[in-house]
Structure 1
Amino acid sequence: MDQETEIQILTASDRDRGLQLLYQMKLIRRFEEKSAELYSKEKIRGFLHLYVGEEAVAVGVIQNLTADDNLLSTYREHGHALARGINPGSIMAEMYGKVQGCSRGRGGSMHLFDAATKFYGGNAIVAGHLAMAVGMALASKKQKKNNITCCFFGEGAAAEGEFHEAMNLAALWSVPVLFVCENNLYAMGTAIRYSHSVVEIEKKGPAYGIETEAVDGMNVLSVQKAAKLAIEKVRTAGKPFLLVCNTYRFRAHSMFDAELYRDKSEVEEWKKKDPISQLQNLMSNQDIISLKDIDEINEKIESEVLKAVEFAEKGTWEPVEDLKKFVYSEARI
């Protein structure tokens, strides 16, 4: 890390900020590890896409959003939901398929939703939510609100037509939307060099007149700093901004993925850039946190994750008689 980054967390107030960032990243990591364990035990069914390795992006960006801002994500959204403040028990219950889940157990892992925190999914169609984000931002502009819309997506979505349509309309209509590309290099399982003629995603924004910045997505301090500036620009100018966070997922695309498309040695090299270890080591080396602080954080997180599992286990299934609820409308003559 450069000297400027180190200076950012030397004061007492910055120590608190560093602890908060570390806590959130560790919570996401432990929640995801527990989810993988529960999936193996068939407590969680369907698809499961884990966020392990990419925690710095969600935490670094969402820290800068206000409660009034809209947030949309991909199907790899557990980390975003936790960083946004959705109760871990509500998320875990949703993955269990229990009615106490944030989507009443109907969405599962890929479709988390929480209106109270303005977390609008969890979208399984690649790039489908980019157009939704533009629409939400346009609505905010029409209603003269001061909120923005933040939309997370992967580099795989940048190869879809809707990415280009969204970029074009966002710039054409000048709407307050922050596009955050989580570039983990492989989309589902195809290396970026095989799906993009120009692999630098940050070169795509300027083609539509959108200001763009690329940042080290494995460094939460760098992400937070870049996101803060980007969000300020979107909020004050009312124009779109593209923030590209170059990151890496440590686990396979999903629990069904045999992961034959990348070498294990490559994964191990990226693990040396673990965003949690980076921040924890930086703070430890500067005597900002102690081993006691770290132990307390880990214990608190373990307790919170276990409570989430207990909440999900005790949850109830939706009654069969409610099967048509929210799906079919009553016929009226």
Structure 2
Amino acid sequence: MTDLGAPSNRGNRLLRALMRLPVDMTPVWLMRQAGRYLPEYRALRAAAGSFLAMCQTPELACEVTLQPVRRFPLDAAILFSDILTVPDAMGLGLSFVEGEGPRFERPIRDPHDVARLRAPDPTVGLRYVLDTVSRVRRELAGLCPLIGFSGSPWTLATYMVEGQASDDFRRVKGLLFSDPATLTALLAVLTEAVTAYLNAQIEAGAQAVMIFDTWGGSLAAHHFLRYSRDPMARIVDGLSRRRDGASVPVVVFTKGGGCWLPALVETGCDAVGIDWMTSLAAARAATGDRVALQGNLDPMALYAPPERLAAEVRAVLADFGEGPGHVFNLGHGVRPDVDPEQVGLCIDTVHAPSARPYP
């Protein structure tokens, strides 16, 4: 077993904060904390041969998950995987093109494509993810909790219909306007698939789960409620919220979703992720302190001079204010060319006694 040090408050700080319970200091983890900005990741990626090979090999995915936890005093590990594993298990033929991102060999183009889709059995088609979860939990040995995740149905649908990343979502929005019944059917099968997938991750050992609604902010308000928020609410309602006598918190994050915070609370989640475009103080007011909040440093602040970065971190903590229910994070993921020393400074500043909003 990898030596990660003796268990400490890192073992429960995040979970308590997500349940809005008092903690000794603000917990911190970072979206994309395991990734290309770390030299140890780049070395492993070169040896593995491809990003997809790393995701699909539990030993490698476990190692990548643990790398940032070894290097930094983070309060959580997040599973190293990709949001597109679910549509890949549905037979769409996922690949990653260097410099261009993900592509599907068989994208969704018409109602017949949707009719052929089935929610995959995660214990079969996604067994490698579950094996990674189990392996990481053993390796962590209680040091800090493990977060599992999935993409939201709407976000997965955008990639499945577009066939790749898009800057205007022309195909999927065309489907929304021209054939909403087919889009609804696609979202229904994805809702079933994501619910089963996250429950399987919880069963395998994930202690919290997060739904990444990366592209929900691209929708008009009334479309967001129908095609993004409502499927997420159905997923949250279908999740196992307790495992081995412990609560399993659920985080929902819609990038660009600051104007819909009350609607996101209505999903039934325990915490809402906040991007850098929304004030945490405003988010607390909008949510009525009914959920924990996660966020929300602008990822570009990691390029600032050290003293300015520390000031920006303290400003985020001050913006949330006193009281329980805050998990420090970025408003989106760590960029691949960020200096790891800057990440370490960010984390240390969150944990510094001078930054602590607790007695």
What TM bracket, shorter-length normalisation? 0.3 to 0.5
- TM-score normalised over the length of structure 2: 0.33
TM-score normalized by the length of structure 1: 0.35
